[in-house]
Amino acid sequence: MSVGKKSILVILAVLIIDQISKIWIKTHFTLGESVEITSWFHITFIENNGMAFGMEFIGKLFLTLFRIVAVSAIGYFIYRFIKQNKYPDGFIICFSLIFAGAAGNIIDSVFYGVIFGDAPLLYGKVVDMLYFPIIKNAAGETLFFSPVFNIADSAITVSVACILIFYHKCLGEKKEKKNA
């Protein structure tokens, strides 16, 4: 299978899993509701109005439009990487995961407010639900890993880590095509 087809399959798989999980959480949980699956994994429904980890420092409309431009640029780079046939398949798949994750969160920002009736177009919130309170203190407060995130965030984080660990040389120089 060509890397282009693999890229499309990865993007579609992440988008479908991400959106199904978000819609299911949004329609079956109340905001703030949490279900303990194990002591170190909870499904917790929150909505993120800003950037990663709920940070906010620019307006919501600007952030949504910036995300759309950024995802368009990533899509263009994926297309170029495939056409140039000089980059390892794994590198292109990592960028496809970033594209899919960013697109998944854009869908929330652009449409969820309108679909669920709580914000106008482009002002929706991102649905987060995965919570891993791995280390807690004696009072039960989470000491290590308190962010709540979603499948899209995971795709972005894992792929960036893989690029930095395995494909960092591809970022600054042209390589001969290797299947990795």
18 is catalytic: no
Which of 18, 89, 108, 128 does the annotation list as catalytic? 128
How many Cβ atoms are within 10 Å of 34's Cβ, its own excluded? 15
How many Cβ atoms are within 10 Å of 115's Cβ, its own excluded? 14
Taking the C-alpha atoms of residue 93 and residue 108, their distance in angstroms, rounded to an integer, is 23
Taking the C-alpha atoms of residue 19 and residue 25, their distance in angstroms, rounded to an integer, is 10
Which of 18, 89, 108, 153 does the annotation list as catalytic? 153
- Rounding to the nearest 10 degrees, give the CA dihedral for residues 140, 141, 144, 145: 100
Residues assigned a catalytic role: 128, 153
